[in-house]
Amino acid sequence: MDSSPANRAFAKQIGVTFPLLSDFNRKVSKEYGILNTEHGFANRTTFVVNKQGIITHIDKDREALDPTGAHNACSLMAHREAEQKK
Amino acid sequence: MKGNFKAAAALLVLALVVPILSQCSSAEKSATAKPDAKATASAPEPAPLKVGDKAPDFTLPDQNGKKISLSQFQGKENVVLAFYVLAFTGG
């Protein structure tokens, strides 16, 4: 929900190499059902989405601070893809 | 300042992890800052998404103003979508 210029400054500050998107009007946070309407912020959540656009893993709140779950979900998808190619 | 550092460190972790996830491209969606007057309290809450649901498509500007859609990765890459509250302001 930070504005794009705020994200640009932040991205520069920490040197990110991936897109840092801005949901300034909270539309997407709402669509994903993670907007906390009490204070208007999104809850910290990580979604892993496969190539078919299906959600394969969700980490919420404290879990979302630890990338292990998302990492494992990605490894699993990579493994399945490799299996399918055999 | 302390809060800012905390947020930056957490994001850095993600930045460091992403290259390891060779199959996953990462679209980092940061969240929030200024609470606006037209709050969303009256809108009905959509059901939270579950594993197995289709991820709703969206198009949002990245840090350089370039529009990024979830659908542009479909059929090509897996995506890690991290909603980060108060990424810039610290939290």
What is the complex's ipTM, to 2 decimals?
A: 0.81
B30 contacts in A (CB within 8 Å)?
Answer: 1-2, 7, 10, 20-23
Chain B positions in Cβ-Cβ contact with residue A82 (cut-off 8 Å): none
- Residues of A with Cβ-Cβ distance to B6 under 8 angstroms: none
Q: Compute CA distances A83 → A24, A76, B20, B22, whole Å.
A: 40, 10, 20, 16
DSSP 3-state assignment of A82? helix
pTM exceeds 0.90, yes or no:
no
Do A18 and B28 lie within an 8 Å CB cutoff? Answer: yes
Which residue has 């940061």 as its token pair?
B30
Report the percent of chain B where pLDDT is more than 90. Answer: 25
The pLDDT tens digits for B26-50 are 555 554 444 444 444 445 555 679 9
- Whether residue B11 is predicted with pLDDT greater than 60 in this model: the reply is no
Q: Name the band, by pLDDT with cuts 50, 70 and 90, for residue B24.
A: low
**Measuring CA to CA, which residue among A39, A76, A19 is closest to residue B21?**
A76
* Interface list for A 4-33 with B (CB within 8 A): 4, 6-11, 13-23, 26-33
Q: Show me where the domains of chain B are located.
A: 1-33+57-91
Is it the case that residue B90 has pLDDT exceeding 50?
no
pLDDT tens digit string along A22-55?
888 888 988 998 888 777 778 889 999 999 999 9
